[in-house]
Structures are given as structure tokens and as C-alpha cells.
A and B are shown apart, each in its own frame.
Chain A
């Protein structure tokens, strides 16, 4: 979600995280539309895609502290920037509009 849609895995984790892959199997076409909206909101706001994704979570009343992974230092700094991104109701609606239900995955 933090970069444009790609066919080839972009990181070693994307290549080798078998559990992570299982969470998103078979729904690529639906997800692509959401990722496009992330890019549009990021461009409109002049912030990164990752910041949009995190800002959306941070504005959910249920969420206390999103957990971020970082394997490059700029990931951390980028994530911190999300704390000052406040999305408008219209932007939140645009990000949520294309979502379709996914298979429940990841539980024991």
C-alpha cells in the first residue's frame, strides 16, 4: 500500500513472508482500486502513501497505536509524519469506498 501497485515482490519480506501472502491471496484486483485511492489522496495532500494509510488508522476512534515495521530509517521518519496528517471526511470516504469484504484470515 505504501508504493504503487507492483506485480513483482519489492522486498525480501514480500517474497518470503508466507503468512503475509496468505492474508492477501486472491483479492488483488479489489485491493488495487483501494491502493489507487491511497495514491490519489497522497498526491492531493502532498504526503506519502504510507502516511495516508497510517493517518487513516490513527483517525479511527478504536485505534490507540498502530504497529509499524521499519527496515529503512526513513520508514520511521515517514511514519512519524503521519501523526500530523489529518484526513478530511471526504478523503476518508474516498479511501474506504472501494473496499469489498475479504476472507477472514490470520486467526488460529
Chain B
């Protein structure tokens, strides 16, 4: 267990994630680089022994926010993050975000955002992470083959079952995000609290209403957690 320093007087600032009550550090450690390199689609990843010091150091620096996906390195990113959190932190003091959408199996239901896929994949993520709940459960992309009503109802059920605390979205057009918020609202369901998008000085298309989600996000007051913040660096 490292001495985690979640005090505001330390160098990390914290912010609420959009209009929900969740407090996150102003930097999130992305865990796509941590995974078994022989598994999945990312040959650059660091294996477990080499990954753990980064999670530990992030905790020491006051980072409480960790992001991964069920698809990263065939699920091994979730496993590495879960074990490191168990060894170096207290579960309730960290915010774990993961995602669902990309294929995890070859059969046609082992992917996407159907009710069947979501309810299966969240249990597998919980098992790999070694935890009872995911703080922020995100849809990795828009699924054109599933009605958004079905996806949102399944996500709402994961929240009501205590398996997810909040739900978020990622990488979609502004109209899709706004539609999802609208559908959740008219059904009295759980709404997305965040948008994880691709935004940096070399890719600012998120600032356009017809491309990304920043205008929609600002209007609706969901949080934004941009990924690829260094644009193919460091």
C-alpha cells in the first residue's frame, strides 16, 4: 500500500466529473499501454511487471483516476490495473473507468452494445478488475446495429444492480451524444456524465458542432476526458 495523497494541498487538483458528484484528479492515467503485448492488437504495451510501477507512481502523485477498456490487450490491461489497485491502493479511494464495445470474442454477440453484450461484458470486466463495481462504465464507440434505447436501458440496469456507479460515452458525433442524453431523459434513465474524446492541439475537430462533442458537452454539462493528449507522444 503506498501512501496515497489525495489532499488538495498536494500538487494534484481535483474536479467534479461534469455535473455528477464524482471527484477525479485533473489527470487520468490511461492504461492502454499496460497489457500483455502478445495478446490483443497493441504490440507496444508493457507487461505486468513493467506496468505496475506506473500505477504505483501515479497513486503517489495523487492521481486517483484510471482508465482502461475490456478490449485493451485482450482484457489483460484490466487485469493488470485491478491487481495493482488491490496491492497499492484502497479500492474506494480510486476511480476506475473501463469500456465496452469492441469485439472480445469471434461470435457476433461478443461485441457491440446490445443488452446481451453489455450484461455479459460488465461481469467479465468486474472479474478481470477484481472488484465489485466500476466507477465509470463507458461505451467505447457508437453501435449502429443496436437501438440506443436498448443500450441505455442495459447501462441503466448495470447502475441499478450496483455494478457501475456512473456511465460515460466516448468518440462519437455530437448529435449521437445529444440523442443519447435526450433518450435517457425522456425515459428517466441514467445519463452519460462524461465524454472521452480525441482532442489535442493537433486535432481540434471536437470544437465543431458537426463533428465532435464539445458543443453538445458544454450545453449539456457533461465532463470531458480527452484521450491522446500528446498526439503520438511522448
Q: Are B200 and A67 in contact (CB under 8 A)?
A: no
Q: Are B33 and A70 in contact (CB under 8 A)?
A: yes
Which chain B positions have C-beta within 8 A of A17? 42, 44, 232
**Known contacts A13-B42, A64-B224; 12 further A-B pairs (Cβ under 8 A):** A1-B201, A1-B202, A2-B234, A17-B232, A50-B230, A65-B28, A65-B225, A71-B44, A71-B54, A73-B53, A82-B27, A108-B144
Determine which of A13, A73, A83, A105 lies in contact with B27 in the assembled complex, contact meaning CB atoms within 8 Å: A83
Instruction: Give the number of residues in A that approach B within 8 Å (Cβ atoms).
Output: 57
Which chain A positions have C-beta within 8 A of B172? 107-108
Q: Are B194 and A64 in contact (CB under 8 A)?
A: yes
Distance (whole angstroms) from the CB of A49 to the closest CB of chain B: 8
Q: Are B217 and A67 in contact (CB under 8 A)?
A: no
Q: Are B229 and A57 in contact (CB under 8 A)?
A: yes
Which chain A positions have C-beta within 8 A of B44? 11-13, 15-17, 71
Q: Are B229 and A76 in contact (CB under 8 A)?
A: no
Distance (whole angstroms) from the CB of A34 to the closest CB of chain B: 6
Q: Does A46 touch B at the CB level, under 8 Å?
A: no
Q: Are B26 and A79 in contact (CB under 8 A)?
A: no
